[in-house]
Structure 1
Amino acid sequence: MLPFAALLATLLAAATPPDDFAGRTYAGRSRELDVAIPRHDSEGTVDGRLDEAAWRTAARLTGFSRYAPTDDAPADDSTQVLVWYSPTAIHFGIRAFAEPGTVRATLADRDKIYTGDYIGIFLGTFNDGRQATVFAVNPLGVQGDGIVVESGRSSGGGFQGLQSGREPTDISPDYVFESKGRLTDFGYEVEIRIPFKSLRYQSLPSQTWGVNVIRVVQSRGVEYSWAPAQRAAASYLAQSGHLVGLSGLRRGLVLDLNPVVTERAVGGPTTARGYAYDAQPARLGGNVRWGMTNNVTLNATVRPDFAEVESDAGQIAFDPRQALFFAEKRPFFLDGIEQLNVPNQLVYTRRITSPLGAVKVSGKAAGVDFAALSAADDRAASADGDARPWFEILRLQRDVGRSSRAGFVYTDREEHGHSNRVVGVDSRAVWRKIYSAQLQGAYSRTTAPDAPTREGPLYMVDLRRTGRSFVARYLFNAMHDEFDAQSGFISRPAVTHLLIDHTARMFGAQGSALRSASFDVSADGLWKYRKFVTRGDMLEKKLHLNTNYELRGGWKAGVSYLLETFGYDPDFYDGRLVASATDTVPFVGLPRITNHDWVFSVTTPNYRRVSASATYIVGRDENFFEWAPANIGYVSAAVDWRPTDQLRVGGTYLWQWYRRPTDGSMVGETRIPRVKAEYQITRAVFVRAVGEYRADYADDLRDAAGASAIPGGTILVPDGRGGYLPGRGFTTATGRARSVNSFRPELLFSYMPSPGTVVFVGYGSTLGEADALRFSGLRRQRDAVFVKMSYLLRRA
């Protein structure tokens, strides 16, 4: 009878209704934020139903508060979060109550859940108030994840709309965890199991972790937070609650082997004016991840395949003197990437283009976060195409108090006698909850055979006040002419930047149509570094007046007026001439160009089936092609359409143009329409089609401003061989051209049951035509078919 009685007791426990709860409740609004969660030896089954015995005695988190768009008010919808842990994992169960028909969820791909309802769990496993791993799930259990490392990026003004007050989560990293969800009569229920193998944490017998849980309700356009966090704070993570008394955690041996094989066939035109494919040999590679301790991980890769399964989306450069930034997406670099976060982007792993092999050790010990990376890059990345560049990168960060830190960075890139080394220190201090200061100093040394050594410093001071009604920022950043960071990303070198930004914010009453509004004044100055040290005039002076509004239901709108004056930059136009039929003289630009621009933006709520945003800029701005005033326009529009729970169609359109005020002729124009359609067959299988068109036009260049001795003359540019050519926008395989038009279609089949285990079958092509957006004379320029397979071997 004893086995029968035990079985009967188990069945009765499993049938316990949701309101039969025997654990302790912790109400966030009552500031019951130190949570002692029970430990059970059984692991349980992740099935999306919180009916196992362990859930009856779990700690229950309730009493959520509103956080965005306004804070410091009770949540409109009830949320219960149940928490317990086993020897090998931490378990979360969510019961989210909602009005009938208001829950929004689709069967999305990983990290594509954020246009619907979702739950986000922030785990600060080192309890430093500065970084946290984020695990997100939607009501169907579809996963999203990422990492947050606070650096003060959440505050500030501008015409990009109101900011949430919480630092953005980097969703690039992927972690292995389990989740299941289901819709219910009361809303939805989600079950999550996060294995300790997927986390790094302290090597202590009894641990305290930072924790917070957010809930996003798209039908209301709000975000709730269990810990009653305030937007008027320099640190969001420092306002988290705590899981206390965690003990007996068994991570076990963390050893992940991830072999990868890629087969590719590349097509291109032949010398006989035909087209042929070159089937390349199968490329074998692999990654290894070894958890040396609870908080130290070694990653290694050999002949990795870093081919992207989706090309970077096209961008438009507002200022051709600034480089465009593309985010890191490659799995090897993403693991522990938060440890390589450095102000001024002194570490940018995409500088390592395609390494033969690389090793990385990262973790935290004795209050110090560290990461050391060594990589041997492809020979094609070297200056002569023969040497193999070597990268050595070291990053250290030391916790100081609850939310402050001090850091050190060293980078070294060497090839064939060429070297570039950077050493730097930085710190961030937070005090009185709303004030923060970030300081940085760095020095670079660049050597090359038969060339003088180049050396120079970089300095930065960034002061911020993040109050509820008043936000302020004061930034000073100076970069010497000879400062060079070849392992980092410097958007515009050899400049000194001064920014003063003040923002006043107001919040509407409960139930009012206006939820919040901000009024921002930004004074922005830029010098060439050598002009700054000799007390010369600013190169650029900007005064931006920005207003942003958030309305009931999630609508956002903004209006800005930009008053700017840009000085002539002779370094950028060095070597140009102006020619007539009888004479040639050096190109001389206008000393200054004054700009007046208006910016209008609007963002819709995330409706059940569609959401959209648009930005429009119009006014008088600089024509960088000819260094003359121009009537400019810029349009950025995006639509996300979800006609079914499995189909997603996203469209974006970028359009920028410059016209001469004198005769209305077009100087330059770029149009980039892009459409992406994804069909999610199951949680692990989807198919995707992407089409992006880029149409670039640049007229024959002339001295439109009339500043030279030959007003209206033809601008000549160096051809790189000691001669000159009439200025036109583009160099093609057949010479100079006014327009370059390309269409890039991509198709992909993806099977990814878990991060690291994937099968990709894809096709990508680039086609060109003479007339933009006609789709009638498209000719293949190159294409490729590829198959990629990898499998994650994880020791249980």
Structure 2
Amino acid sequence: MILPWKSAKKLCILSLYFGLAFPSLANQPLAIPNIKAAITFDGELNEPVWQQAKHVELNIVNYPYENTPSPIKTDAYIFEDGEHIYFAFNAQDPNPEKIQGFIRDRDDAFSDDIVGIKLDTFNDHRLAYQFFVNPYGVQNDAIENEMTGNTNTNWDGIWQSFGKITNTGYQVEFAIPYSELNFAEGSDLKTWGIELIRQYPRDNILRISNIPINRDDPCWICQMAEMQGFEQAKMGNNVLITPSIVASSNEVRDVYTDEEWQSDEEIELGLSLRWGITPDVLLNATVNPDFSTVESDAGKLKVNKTYALFYEEKRPFFLDNAEYFSTPFNLVYTRNIADPDYGSKVTGRVDNHSFGLFITQDSRTNLILPGNLSSSIAEIDDDSFSGALRYRYDAGEDLSFGFISTLRSADDYENLVTGVDAKYKLSLSNSVIAQVLTSVSEYPNYLRNESDESNTLNDLSDQAYQLTFEHSSEYWFFNLMYQGIGQDFRADLGFLPKVDSNELSSELVRKFYNEESWWTEANIGVEFETTHNDDNELINETTELNFRVYGPWQSTFSLTFIDQQQVGLRFDEHNDAIDGNTNRYDLSQIQLYTDFQPVASVYMNFYALFGDAIDYSNGHRNDDIENSNDRKADIVEISPRLIWNITRHLEFNFNYSFAELEAEGDYVFRENISDLRLTYAFDVNSFLRLTMVYTQTDFNLSNNPDVIIDSDEFNNLATQLIYSYKLNPQTVFFIGYSDNSIEDNAIGKLKKEQSIAFLKLSYAFN
């Protein structure tokens, strides 16, 4: 489903597709004709083949209303030719001037008027491809994983589309090559799952579909309609070879000594291979790849945070079939792999068996060193090998078993994780998920003492496990989870910043619906969580009460009250004990979030946090101070955002984040982040973007008596100007410039410490 709330102007298409309320309609498979005909992608729909294609009406609103007649007419047309499957949509609109659509980069149009499909090519209710197009032809694609409940919008397929606004609405044509899809090979009649969807954002966001839904079934993939045909479906040209060249000129200097600029020019050649060995088995290989992320990561508040921050993966090699490696624990966090020399991956599904294997050789080894109160980042200055193996067996529609193993190794270093998991659907609304893991690790001496708080020199080995029960129906949601992660458990290829942690959590939500008033849905929920270490010492106990309502202007309003007991950092960092070695604090907080879109071109959101917090910075910047400690404080965090589409081509995106911590009557620190991104899209393939991220951090040294730092002010300005042309996700041209400037009391003003000019060119041959 495309939910009626947004983050960063982007509606994520999530896996909330409900069951079929009218089986007599859904059980009639759509017969897809095989037609050999050429079409021109111009949005006209005037070729004779569209009259021969399978015609489907989208006439049911299944969100936010429950299976009501659609107020607007939408017609879809489908045919295939053995190498592609073709779709056309005629989305009529009585007020075409109100169509919400802009010319953007791909995957940025989830909040627009869009039409598209979901495809379950194995019809086994596990994964679904999503392909959506806005009125200008901007592509949005994703892969939905029913096993984990996640939707990966970072995945990019190579397909063709065109959109056109008309006097009566808009029309879209697109074609998906079978080489982009995994499906069972053979010349027999095939049955795929499908849902055709139109998103109609006006005062509310209507989700219009060809099928009704049943809110008592949380598995929306399970309830898509069926279509049949595809006897002649084949991969076509199933080899994609993408050479690339990356050139850069990098300059750095020490701004404190005013030394001369040190320059470094570099040209890197790379080659990637994507080979569909069969329609259901895919091989990826890459040599000397460009794994750089051209776009800047969004700025995040970092001061007074005790755990490592999570960043999304954006690199194509890792995104292709990434969902095959998903498990309840995040064991494959590929941003840990920094600069590989080569990589290879094979993924596939045969009958009820799915599998994935990848290996990389990395020139750097980044690690998260976890703990039960904090985590840190470390680097081994040596080449390392990373690999992951994943297998899943689907015993039926309701039961799946899985196995996973990950490995990272270098000189004097190794981390091996193995485990099994299962998911069982007890009934329409109830499911159970379980996973058990074990790890064996060996670290270099200089890291072992940091990662093992007991400071033993023995190899580390331990277990982790998770058991979850979930109920999701029309009016109720309930989740109960128990998760244990042993003190010596490590998953260095994953993202597990917390160990020595035994967590019991539960969530209960009551949902209300309204089709006759200003609001369409409201939720009241309560959450409880308690965490102990392996010695049964309390680390955290939290209770949350949440109220959320969806209303006009595509709006969301959420208010959360939080009450918790939380321990601070250890007095003696070399003593594992919690009791007697930490302070315990009673904390209360209020969180507020709202977003709305008063007109099609303007989106705004606002987040705020008020209440109690722990000042972790007090004394913990100086490792030489014994028995340094934290203290109770007051926290204020505010983050407004404005996205303004000034024209169809020009977008202004500004996000501001502010945090202030106050203790003992005075502020401890203030942190401000201003993130501005100005984008001009020339067409659906190219844009020019200016990014400026300015971070200001002000420390009150008089209220940090144990902190030894040279400056009370740290400022940073990162800028980037980039031109991007994408014929498709693999055929790209980037040219740009970025720099970084810093300021503190010693420097006196912003001084540029690094600049880089870069160019990337890659072309996909198939």
Q: Tell me the TM-score normalised to structure 2 length.
A: 0.88
The answer on 1:617 being equivalent to 2:609 is yes
Q: Residue in 2 aligned with 1:303?
A: 288
Q: Residue in 1 aligned with 2:462?
A: 456
Letter aligned with residue 438 of structure 1: I
Q: Residue in 1 aligned with 2:249?
A: 265
Provide, for residues 263-291 of structure 1, a one-character-per-residue CA deviation record: whole Å limited to 9, x for no partner. 11111116972442524231111111111
- Matches of 2:531 and 2:105 in 1, distance apart? 43
- Matches of 1:384 and 1:113 in 2, distance apart? 38
Q: Structure 1: where are the runs of 5+ without partners?
A: 1-26, 154-166, 577-586, 704-713, 716-726, 729-734
The answer on 1:215 being equivalent to 2:198 is yes
Letter aligned with residue 79 of structure 2: W
- Matches of 2:254 and 2:32 in 1, distance apart? 67
SS in 2 for 1:333: helix
Alignment of structure 1 residues 482-497 onto 2, 5 Å? 482-497=488-503
Q: Residue in 1 aligned with 2:711?
A: 737
Q: Residue in 2 aligned with 1:256?
A: 240
Q: Residue in 1 aligned with 2:145?
A: 149
Give the count of matched residue pairs.
Answer: 707
* Range with greater deviation from structure 2 (364-373 or 245-254): 245-254
**Does structure 2 retain, via aligned residues, the 8 Å contact 1:741–1:771?**
no
1:442 Cα deviation (Å)? 0.3
Change (3 A) 1:186 1:33: farther
Letter aligned with residue 197 of structure 2: I
1:50 Cα deviation (Å)? 1.4
Change (3 A) 1:309 1:384: closer
The answer on 1:645 being equivalent to 2:637 is no
- Matches of 1:431 and 1:85 in 2, distance apart? 38
Q: Residue in 1 aligned with 2:113?
A: 117
Letter aligned with residue 90 of structure 1: I
Q: Residue in 2 aligned with 1:37?
A: 32
Give the counterpart of 1:439 among 415, 434, 440. Answer: 434
1:231 Cα deviation (Å)? 3.9
Q: Residue in 1 aligned with 2:669?
A: 668
Letter aligned with residue 226 of structure 1: N
Give the counterpart of 1:531 among 511, 528, 535. Answer: 535
Alignment of structure 1 residues 60-139 onto 2, 5 Å? 60-100=55-95, 101-139=97-135
- Matches of 1:306 and 1:680 in 2, distance apart? 25
Q: Residue in 2 aligned with 1:659?
A: 662
1:589 Cα deviation (Å)? 7.2
Q: Residue in 1 aligned with 2:596?
A: 604
Give the counterpart of 1:246 among 230, 237, 241. Answer: 230
**Does structure 2 retain, via aligned residues, the 8 Å contact 1:28–1:228?**
no
Provide, for residues 454-491 of structure 1, a one-character-per-residue CA deviation record: whole Å limited to 9, x for no partner. 11000101111101111100011100000001111103
**Does structure 2 retain, via aligned residues, the 8 Å contact 1:594–1:621?**
no
Letter aligned with residue 531 of structure 1: D
Provide, for residues 689-728 of structure 1, a one-character-per-residue CA deviation record: whole Å limited to 9, x for no partner. 000011223334878xxxxxxxxxx43xxxxxxxxxxx24
Provide, for residues 216-244 of structure 1, a one-character-per-residue CA deviation record: whole Å limited to 9, x for no partner. 11114222232223343231100111111
Q: Residue in 2 aligned with 1:20?
A: none
- Matches of 2:755 and 2:359 in 1, distance apart? 33
SS in 2 for 1:147: strand
1:314 Cα deviation (Å)? 1.7
Change (3 A) 1:458 1:371: same
1:440 Cα deviation (Å)? 0.4
- Matches of 1:343 and 1:361 in 2, distance apart? 21
Q: Tell me the TM-score normalised to structure 1 length.
A: 0.85
1:507 Cα deviation (Å)? 0.8
The answer on 1:202 being equivalent to 2:203 is no
Q: Residue in 2 aligned with 1:512?
A: 517
1:348 Cα deviation (Å)? 1.1
**Does structure 2 retain, via aligned residues, the 8 Å contact 1:221–1:605?**
no
Q: Residue in 2 aligned with 1:759?
A: 733
* Range with greater deviation from structure 2 (566-575 or 71-80): 566-575
SS in 1 for 2:458: strand
**Does structure 2 retain, via aligned residues, the 8 Å contact 1:420–1:484?**
yes
- Matches of 1:238 and 1:93 in 2, distance apart? 24
Q: Residue in 2 aligned with 1:780?
A: 752
- Matches of 1:527 and 1:770 in 2, distance apart? 41
**Does structure 2 retain, via aligned residues, the 8 Å contact 1:218–1:605?**
no
Alignment of structure 1 residues 487-636 onto 2, 5 Å? 487-508=493-514, 510-528=515-533, 530-532=534-536, 536=537, 538-570=538-570, 591-605=583-597, 607-626=599-618, 627-636=630-639
- Matches of 2:744 and 2:24 in 1, distance apart? 63
- Matches of 1:571 and 1:127 in 2, distance apart? 56
- Matches of 1:63 and 1:32 in 2, distance apart? 16
Change (3 A) 1:786 1:513: same
Letter aligned with residue 777 of structure 1: K
Letter aligned with residue 761 of structure 2: M
What is the alpha-carbon root mean square deviation over aligned residues? 2.5
The answer on 1:235 being equivalent to 2:209 is no
1:381 Cα deviation (Å)? 5.1
The answer on 1:186 being equivalent to 2:168 is yes
Change (3 A) 1:543 1:701: farther
1:384 Cα deviation (Å)? 8.3
Q: Residue in 2 aligned with 1:284?
A: 269
Query: What percentage of residue pairs aligned between the two structures are identical?
Result: 24
Letter aligned with residue 240 of structure 2: D
- Matches of 2:146 and 2:303 in 1, distance apart? 28
1:569 Cα deviation (Å)? 4.0
Change (3 A) 1:777 1:75: same
- Matches of 1:670 and 1:201 in 2, distance apart? 50
Change (3 A) 1:208 1:702: same
**Does structure 2 retain, via aligned residues, the 8 Å contact 1:381–1:388?**
no
- Matches of 1:449 and 1:683 in 2, distance apart? 50
The answer on 1:370 being equivalent to 2:376 is no
- Matches of 1:573 and 1:640 in 2, distance apart? 45
Letter aligned with residue 403 of structure 2: F
- Matches of 1:35 and 1:572 in 2, distance apart? 68
Give the counterpart of 1:331 among 293, 316, 326. Answer: 316
Letter aligned with residue 654 of structure 1: S
Change (3 A) 1:304 1:619: same
1:396 Cα deviation (Å)? 0.9
